[in-house]
Amino acid sequence: MKVAFYSVHKFEREQLLLINNNKHDFLMLEVALSDATVGLALGCTCICIFVSDKASAVVLKECFSIGIRFIVLRSAGFNHVDVVAAHNLQIKLARVPEYSPYSVAEHSVTLMLALNRQLVHAHNRINELNFSLDGLTGFDMHGKTAGIIGTGKIGRQVARILRGFGCHILAFDVKEDESLVTETNVTYTDLRSLMSRSDIISLHLPLNAETKHIVSRESISWMKKGVMLINTSRGGLINTTDTVGALKSGHIGYFGIDVYEEEDGLFFQDHSQDILQDDVIARLMTFRNVLITSHQAFLTDTALHNIANTTIHNIDCFEQGITSGNELTV
């Protein structure tokens, strides 16, 4: 089957080609999927998209018009796809529901540790031959209260890691995980209580109408002064403008993100020769207590292998007319 891959990056190409082993005819495109680039998939039955691609209703209609009947996502999240529009067009969808919860969980805790112990600033000082320790004081993670919002596959791994540090764990989720309670002694509570009691808050939620801007001016007001806030899930969970205000006032003491609500056209690309047009992220970059990574939490060799393997499996199953177990439905 001929498959057009959009937004292909160097870091994933090798695994995709290796696992495919010439079974399918891959058209590897570096450009993102849009109404202007749909035509590049002419002659394909399937397209494969990344988190930075936007499969809106308009784009999906154009996909259907050129013969696309299957879209496979190289991601677990699917907020970038109009699932209802795809269903109405009878375009089948499949995703990678799990690739490595450990990769994202470990990156979340990496952000916590790097912010707490000011590793970036310490490293930069050493490069300047400044071996002073003034201004680098952190805090013991042991004994602190960590609030985990969302205890799915990734959130539960964060709970396990932080429990190993000796943190007290609070959790909020629409569905409580009793096995997690037994294993880590996590305490489920309501959102306001979690935010008001936690020294560290880590977000592990999908983005939808209920979770969009779950962190905003109101919920920030519930948080402890000096709280550490971490987001490795979806940028839209946080109202960034409100967060900038809280950083300026000192209400948020540490802010670590791997995702950003306006990351489209910014993350996954080299803009080192460009003038940064996004004033909000430019302001974030001026704070000493902010650490930003460019949607790399998933980026481990294990995760890349699993993403490629599940992606090829989804394509194989579609070609054979069987279910993969990874289909997206309305």
131 burial type by CB count under 10 A (0-12 exposed, 13-18 middle, 19+ buried): exposed
Q: List beta partners, residue 94.
A: 72, 327
Residue 189: DSSP 8-state:
-
The CA distance from 327 to 70, in Å, is 10
The CA distance from 67 to 70, in Å, is 9
> How does strand 327-328 pair with strand 92-94?
antiparallel
Number of C-beta neighbours around residue 43 at 10 A = 11
The CA distance from 327 to 48, in Å, is 14
Q: Are 191 and 166 in contact (CB under 8 A)?
A: no
162 burial type by CB count under 10 A (0-12 exposed, 13-18 middle, 19+ buried): buried
Instruction: Give the helix/strand (H/E) hosting 177.
Output: none
Amino acid, single-letter form, for residue 287: F
The CA distance from 202 to 156, in Å, is 11
Instruction: Give the helix/strand (H/E) hosting 56.
Output: none
Residues assigned a catalytic role: 234, 263, 295
The CA distance from 4 to 17, in Å, is 13
46 burial type by CB count under 10 A (0-12 exposed, 13-18 middle, 19+ buried): buried
- Whether the CA torsion 42, 47, 52, 56 is positive or negative: it is positive
Q: List beta partners, residue 48.
A: 5, 72
Residue 217: DSSP 8-state:
H
